[in-house]
Amino acid sequence: MQWSSLRVIAKKEIIYASRRPVYWVSSVLLVIFVIWLSVSAATGAIQNIAQTSSDLADYLARIYPQMFFLLQPFSLFLLMSLYLFSEIFIMEKAQGRLEMLMTAPITVKNIWLGKSVSLLVLVYPFVLLTEVLYAVVWVYTAKGLVPTPFAVTAPTLLIGVLLGPMLAFAIISLLGLISFVAEQVSTVQLSAFFMSFGAAFGGSYLLSWLQKRLFVQRADLIRWPMVVGALVLIGLIGGVMWVLQKRIEKDRIARTFG
Tens-place pLDDT, residues 150-181: 677 899 999 999 999 999 999 999 999 999 98
Per residue in 68-83, pLDDT (tens digit) is 999 999 999 998 998 8
Mean of the pLDDT values across residues 102-119? 92
The answer to whether residue 241 scores a pLDDT higher than 90 is yes
Identify residue 23 by its one-letter amino acid code: Y
Top mean pLDDT of 121-125, 145-149, 152-156 is at: 121-125
pLDDT at 11: 94
Structural contact between residues 255 and 100, judged by C-beta atoms closer than 8 angstroms? no
* 168 close to 40: Cβ distance less than 8 angstroms: no
Give the residue with greater pLDDT, 61 vs 238: 238
pLDDT digits (tens, 9 = 90+) for 203-232: 777 777 776 676 656 678 888 998 999 999
Q: What is the pLDDT of residue 81?
A: 92
- pLDDT-derived band at 17 (thresholds 50, 70, 90) equals very high
Distances, alpha carbon 133 to alpha carbons 31, 68, 130, 141, 238, in Å: 9, 12, 5, 12, 31
At residue 60, the pLDDT reads 83
d(CA 106, CA 120) in angstroms, rounded, equals: 21
Q: Using CA atoms, how far apart are residues 255 and 253, in angstroms rounded to an integer? A: 5
- Top-ranked range on mean pLDDT: pick from 11-15, 42-46, 201-205: 11-15
Query: For position 194, what pLDDT does the model report?
Result: 82
pTM of whole model > 0.85?
yes
- Residue predicted with more confidence, 212 or 67: 67
As a whole number of angstroms, the distance between CA 155 and CA 70 comes to: 10
